[in-house]
A and B are shown apart, each in its own frame.
Chain A
Amino acid sequence: MQALFQPVGETIIFKFWFLDVTQESLLFAFRVAMRITVMISAFTLLLMTTHPSELMSDLTRRGLPGQFAYVVISSLQILPQMQAKAQTIISAQRSRGLDTQSSFLRRVGGILPLVGPLVFGSLVEVEERAIAIEARGFTSNRPKTFLREIQDTPFDRAIRWILLALVIVTLILKLWLS
């Protein structure tokens, strides 16, 4: 897609209708794809090697608002639970004759019986959960403490500095070479 819609380039490789694919645009597309891949793999690596609890604790310690951290991390566990709830809702409505196998148009009309209870039921649950965490001091202004100790070893620090140095070197090289 990127290759098709990129206007620059002179060396036309082939034509597709009125859109040209040039060597330059292919290279451009390749670069974009690589960037996206790097970002996704970095993020995935982060998620796979770091326990969500630790990630959130550490971010909170460094200034991320507690409420934000809570919303992110609780959704990791609660959303799968909501999936189970959604299954029950589907079963309940099928038991009332809702045909989940009929034509597309009928199914569009049939969304409300499935989505409605999920949304309304969730609103009730959210209020209760808010009360429950409030009852455990969630909105307290006192400075928070952490059960898990996140160690910041000299090794960790060294790696961070090395990586930072690599980024700077790469930037310098890029500017110098261009």
Chain B
Amino acid sequence: MNIEIKDLHFTYPTGLEALRGISLTIETGEQVAIVGQNGAGKTTLVKHLNGLLQPAHGHVLIGDWDTGKHSVAKLASRVGYVFQNPDEQLFSKNVGAEVAFGPRNLGFSAEQVQALVKDALALTELTDKTETNPYDLSATWRKMVALASIISMDTPIVLFDEPTTGQDAVNVARIANVIAELRARGKTVITITHDIDFCAENFERVIAMSQGIILLDGKANDVLGQEETLATTYVDPPQLTRLGKRLGFRNTVRNQEEFLNNLQGLG
């Protein structure tokens, strides 16, 4: 399911012109990270993908659906959106019911819902917590419940808004695993993130935004190497990328494997 955005403009009622002509295409199965300073328009852009916001000008196509012609509830069958704060969506008496909420709304049969829930819980390591009240869980596990609640909707496209904020290393690794599994299943994954190391290690394509426009859009290795441009939107390159540059690597590296390979080449 491709995503097509053509010349998207959007202005908030306050008068703030948040998007000033965004055009891009995301193909099925792509893993895309969107980076840039606060106010660049990242969340505004992503909210157009499931219809929460409507373009002032231009259009957004999710597959063959124009977002202007379908409700958010309908678009939810194609685009799952994991919000940043789990406490802004959890309400059920137990984890199982919470994770079932999404697929039930989408009209899956009872058996299908059960299967989807079981799968989502397994993926997020929540199976043993199915009967627990989400608010009895720590913040770490509430985050995973929020993730599971969207995964169970089995949408071809999944959006993450700052998935790793406030998470410890163990949970970041869990979230990275979830994303890898979604990739393996052929889902399109789009994330907004400030954690540039997490971005570098898990996403092949990086879009850098600033003040309502796209500054850079390309393969992670290309984009993350452009230090000066990224600096204009207050993005520091990943740790190992910076190190590689300082050591005079010819290539831009974005994870430990690439770093060590290039290190060999120096000797």
Contact = CB atoms under 8 A, between A and B. Distances in A.
Contacts of B52: 91, 94-95
A94 B47 CA distance: 12
Interface in A47-93: 85, 88-89, 91-93
Interface of A: 85, 88-89, 91-101, 112-113, 115-117, 120-121, 124
A94 B76 contact: yes
A99 B71 contact: yes
B50 A88 contact: no
Contacts of B88: 85, 88-89, 92, 117, 121
Contacts of A98: 73, 105
Nearest to A121: B87
B94 interface: no
A114 to B, nearest CB: 8
A153 to B, nearest CB: 41
B65 interface: no
Contact of A97 (B47, B89, B105): B105
Given A91-B52, A120-B135, A96 B91 contact: no
Interface of B: 47, 50, 52, 71-73, 76-77, 79-81, 83, 85, 87-92, 101-102, 105-106, 135, 149-150, 153
Contact of B150 (A96, A100, A101, A112): A96
Contacts of A115: 91
Residue of B47, B72, B79, B90 with most chain A CB atoms under a 10 A cut-off: B72
Contacts of B83: 88, 91-92, 95
A89 B71 contact: no
Contact of A117 (B47, B79, B89): B89
Contacts of B135: 120
Contacts of B87: 117, 120-121, 124
A96 to B, nearest CB: 4
A116 B106 contact: no
Contact of A94 (B73, B80, B85, B91): B73
Residue of A92, A97, A101, A116 with most chain B CB atoms under a 10 A cut-off: A97
B77 A97 contact: yes
Contacts of A101: 71, 73
A115 B90 CA distance: 10
A67 to B, nearest CB: 26
Contacts of B101: 96, 113
B110 to A, nearest CB: 16
A91 B72 CA distance: 9
B91 A117 contact: yes
Given A91-B52, A120-B135, A97 B76 contact: yes
B90 A99 contact: no
Nearest to B146: A92
Given A89-B88, A117-B88, A121-B88, A96 B102 contact: yes
A115 B89 CA distance: 10
A31 to B, nearest CB: 44
A93 B82 CA distance: 10
Contacts of B105: 96-99
B76 A96 contact: yes
B62 to A, nearest CB: 13
A95 to B, nearest CB: 4
A119 B71 CA distance: 27
Given A96-B101, A120-B91, A121-B85, 16 more contacts: A85-B88, A92-B81, A94-B52, A94-B72, A95-B50, A95-B79, A96-B76, A96-B102, A96-B105, A96-B149, A97-B76, A97-B77, A97-B106, A97-B153, A117-B90, A124-B87
8 contacts: A91-B52, A95-B50, A95-B72, A96-B102, A99-B71, A113-B91, A117-B91, A120-B135
A93 B88 CA distance: 9
Contact of B91 (A85, A112, A124): A112
A113 B52 CA distance: 17
A134 B89 CA distance: 29
A99 B73 contact: yes
